[in-house]
Amino acid sequence: MKINQAISLFVLILSLVYVGCDSSNTTTPIEDSPLDVISSVDNLPKCDNKNQGETHIVGHEETLYFCFNETWQQLEDTTHYSVSCKDGYLEVISKVTDSNNNSNPDFNFTGPTFSLDFYGYAQKGPFMIGSSIQVTELDSTQFYRPSQRSFEGCLLSKNGRFDFTNVQVLSRYLQVSASGFYRNEITGERSKKTLTLKSIVDMNNRDSVNINVLTHLESGRLEQLIATSGGYLPINQAKEQASKEVFKAFEIDIQNWNNQSISQNTMHVEDFNLFGNSDSSGALLAISIILQGNRSEDEVASVMNQISDDLKGDGYWNDMNLKTKIADWLMVQDTSWQYNSIRNNISQWNFGPIPDFEKHLRNFWYKTYGFEACNESTAGQVKYVNNNSSTFYASYYSHIDNTKLRFICDASSKMWRVARDIEKDTMGFGPGKYDKEIREGLVNISSYYIYEESQLAWRLATPQEADGFTDILEVYSQLAADEKVFFVIRHAERTNDTGKDGKLTDNGINQAKKLGESLVGEDFFYASSDFYRTSETCRNIALGKGQSNYKIETWEALSGEWYVSNSSKLETYKNSNGGGWAVFSKWAFLNEYSDAFYDLEKRSEELLDDYIFANLSKINRVGVLCSHDQLLVPLLAYTTNKHANVRFYENNRWLNYLSGVAIIINSKGEARYIPIKSLESGTM
């Protein structure tokens, strides 16, 4: 049987050898074939011996012309050569030597035959010239298994189209396979290795059959459905079920497709084409991109077969690990704007409209991550990936062992995108409890955010504002001429001895000296509690300043017990409620355990009136009062109207060494208060 092919050519470079007595044939690798497109036949250059074998594509005809015997000819015109293909390459073979080597021998037909004319497109990306197309008849009496009757053709069109005419067959049920190089959708370039895809089709009442990843993926499930029915399930009915299961596996909803020229009731994936404005084209291109990813050709074949085998048994893609790895890759591509690069690379082929594949890619990773649709009702929601197969998995919102990546439903684009730091760090904050409230970021725990009541919004705190404390040097340098200040600070780093005789560590001594070195200038007044480490702190600040004429007064009010009214109850609360830091902070800010303490407001005013204002005349401009955290945390709560960021019960933040409050008093006797620090952070 002779099979005549109606060949439509976009691009083909054939190295033709002049036919004489030499019966040699040549093979032209595709990658060595530059494209040269001529707008019309009239613009072809002169054909002579100098450019024998030169090949051009005539654009408007989409046809190959080659220079042979000083004449521009189409492949169909010559009687001297035929074309065959193998392993993705074309061979131009002398018909003289080919006449006894027909690759498509006649079959011995024993029944009525049918004549088929059909065409189709082989697409992963589009298969390239030189790809082989194999057509095998299926025996409907044997569960549509391949018979021994098959024939081959070559793909000779740039856009992946193939044509067969006057094909004599016994069965209209066919398996059509394509094997060859293809255009990679991600890079836009030719694949480095060949790939094989197949399509199973009932040719009754049709004249076309496409080969693509969908026809390949459904084939295993299709064969299983027919086999389990004992061969009684019509092939088209089985195909409809198999294709719908493939779509569901890739999270593609076919119910509301737009611009769909294919009826959903007779939807067959062998009718799908990569190019066009329909949702079927978008779905096909999306799944082709998903399967390609950053994989080699061998890996593409492997993952396709893996998914096909998974679907074969029950129609479900059960491998969540693989599905999630793909979702991770798609998310990274999406959020780094690589979908645009994929679209640009595909557009270079100039094969037709590029459909909206992006929405299907996004829907795949959204659904795999468990995200709802991004719409008006979900706008502003922030999510984390609670899929433990993902590289970006978090077991709870603020879990950052694997990643700090979070996602937000963008109100304007209606798409999930990577959340900015402020969006993910303030998720669920709502309005602040008060103006200038400071909170730690939920994900970036080293970042702090301030609530601006005038804007009804949170903003990122500056480094100076981050923990709500201002550097002592900054306060000192900005002191007005008519102002005096008492720096009431916690002692420097201490040893583990918390008794009255406990001392500073060597590091604590250096901390105090460095603070003194930074506060150059006038002499300071000093006072401390009756603990050694507080007087030691004051003394080393003075030494750091180089101040020799000083003395350190001892003030009862600077004791850590200043606010405690019942030591016995306090110890009971400390032992049963998480220790002193938790108890002191809950009392100072929430008024819990109040029967162990004095009234915060009255006791603070007593401290200010009887010690601060009463000793104002003793200082030139600056007094340094060295005290304890258990005095300073309540004092900060009072002087900042409970805004200070030392709420240990809430955020595990406690007052750092050499931090406290600056009490600034002007010539009118008016006081203002600023939380201060001398180390990098005011809290620990």
- Order the strands of the 457-460 sheet from edge to edge: 438-440, 448-452, 457-460
What are the Cα distances from residue 84, in Å, to 30, 89, 208? 14, 8, 22
Please say if the pLDDT value at position 59 is more than 70.
no
Q: Tokens in use for 463?
A: 């480094």
Q: Tokens in use for 377?
A: 């009702």
Identity of the amino acid at 506: D
Please say if the pLDDT value at position 208 is more than 80.
yes
Mean pLDDT (whole number) for 502-508: 96
The candidate with the shortest Cα–Cα distance to 133, out of 222, 237, 210, is 210
pLDDT at 343: 97
Q: In sequence order, which residues have a C-beta less than 8 Å from that of residue 571 and are 6 or more positions away?
A: none
Q: For the chain, what is the total number of helices (H) and then of strands (E)?
A: 17, 26
pLDDT at 107: 44
| Three-class DSSP category at 668 | coil
Contact 92, 148 (CB under 8 A): no
Which helix (H) or strand (E) segment is 605 a member of? helix 600-607
| Whole-angstrom distance, CA of residue 23 vs CA of residue 310 | 50
- Identify which has the larger pLDDT, 522 or 446: 522
Burial of 558 (0-12, 13-18, 19+ CB in 10 A): buried
pLDDT band at 10 (very low <50, low <70, confident <90, very high): very low
| Whole-angstrom distance, CA of residue 408 vs CA of residue 419 | 5
| Whole-angstrom distance, CA of residue 260 vs CA of residue 282 | 11
Alpha-helical segments (H) within 250-337? 279-292, 297-314, 320-335
Residue span(s) of the chain under CATH 3.40.50.1240 come to 470-677
Contact 267, 254 (CB under 8 A): yes
What are the Cα distances from residue 656, in Å, to 231, 306, 370, 625? 79, 58, 42, 16
Cα dihedral across residues 200, 204, 205, 208: positive or negative: positive
Beta strands in 170-312 (DSSP E): 173-180, 195-202
Fold of 470-677: Rossmann fold (3.40.50)
Mean pLDDT (whole number) for 630-634: 97
| Whole-angstrom distance, CA of residue 522 vs CA of residue 526 | 13
Please say if the pLDDT value at position 30 is more than 50.
no
Please say if the pLDDT value at position 441 is more than 80.
yes
Please say if the pLDDT value at position 23 is more than 50.
no
